[in-house]
Chain A
């Protein structure tokens, strides 16, 4: 596991976190890495109980779908192909060492 991605995520949380959820794209942009590499680090941080990964699923029209209902969207009343279901990744920090005054 690459430690630079883990350190970068920890740094983001320490320096920028102000509550709520953090999106994976914000972390990717901050660390200048692809979301895939960030996700790999997030899985490791979740194992260490530093963060919790939260997934949300959306239909092609942007409606949220629960995991149990996939790939059926109740708003659209349509069972979409799973090829077109979007997975959105957020994290919730569980350990915050805030460096802000």
Chain B
């Protein structure tokens, strides 16, 4: 990923969105995101993740989930975020996120294709920081389709096969899971989170950008 291009494109997206969204009485990422400490806690946790200083693999695995939980928790339209790490009907899900109501989807530009739920999958178990392959993506495709979910997948990187699989799913979801038009996989990387935190980018806008660019899989250019 080219860091400069990523930052420039996010900045342009925020400026374009704010040019239209921020009227009186409107809700937008501009006024539903609270970041008084300027990501101070998140930066400490991110530094630990990137340094790989963990006493055991559980601590390593939990750290990324906790970081993601902290980041989403700053969006005031999120009701709750649960780090589950347990088997539910959709399989083993790391994070379940519950919005207050549909306003969160509207802020993210999901007025008509509203998901049935929001889940997150965090992959931070490999000390070698290896990219995620196609088999892991096939699992999240199934869960996303079955639950009609907006699924965030967070990893160090993705193999070409994995990116192609996500691309195929997002481009063909109308036929693959016709009952759930809100289903969408949003692939994110730790490098993206690092840049968001370092540059104090509004995380709500970053997610809105990631959703928007995942629809047509332009996000592949940044993975």
Contacts and interface: CB of A to CB of B under 8 A. Distances in A.
Nearest first, the 4 closest Cβ-Cβ pairs linking A and B are A36-B76, A36-B32, A23-B25, A83-B109
Contact of B26 (A70, A82, A86): A86
A76 interface: no
B100 interface: yes
Contact of B109 (A25, A58, A81): A81
Contacts of A82: 109-113
B112 A35 contact: no
Interface string A57-75: 1101000000100110000
A77 B23 CA distance: 22
Contacts of B113: 82
B103 interface: yes
What interface size band does chain A fall in? 20 to 34
B181 to A, nearest CB: 12
Interface of B: 16-17, 19-21, 23-28, 31-34, 75-77, 100-101, 103, 106-107, 109-113, 208, 212
Contact of B77 (A26, A28, A40, A86): A40
Nearest to A69: B112
B34 A86 contact: no
B103 to A, nearest CB: 6
Contacts of A86: 20-21, 23, 26, 28
A83 to B, nearest CB: 4
Given A25-B25, A83-B212, A84-B21, A35 B31 contact: yes
Contacts of A88: 23, 25-26
A51 interface: no
Contacts of A89: 25-27, 103
25 contacts: A24-B27, A25-B26, A28-B31, A34-B32, A34-B33, A35-B27, A36-B31, A36-B32, A39-B76, A40-B100, A43-B101, A60-B19, A70-B111, A71-B111, A71-B112, A81-B109, A81-B212, A82-B109, A84-B17, A84-B109, A85-B106, A86-B20, A86-B23, A86-B26, A88-B23
Contacts of A81: 109, 212
A37 B76 contact: yes
A90 interface: yes
Contact of B112 (A24, A40, A70, A87): A70
Given A71-B112, A87-B26, 5 more contacts: A24-B27, A40-B77, A83-B17, A83-B212, A86-B26
For A36, A37, A40, A55, the residue with the greatest tally of chain B CB atoms inside 10 Å of its CB is: A36
Contacts of B77: 36, 39-40
A48 to B, nearest CB: 15
A74 B69 CA distance: 40
A34 B35 CA distance: 11
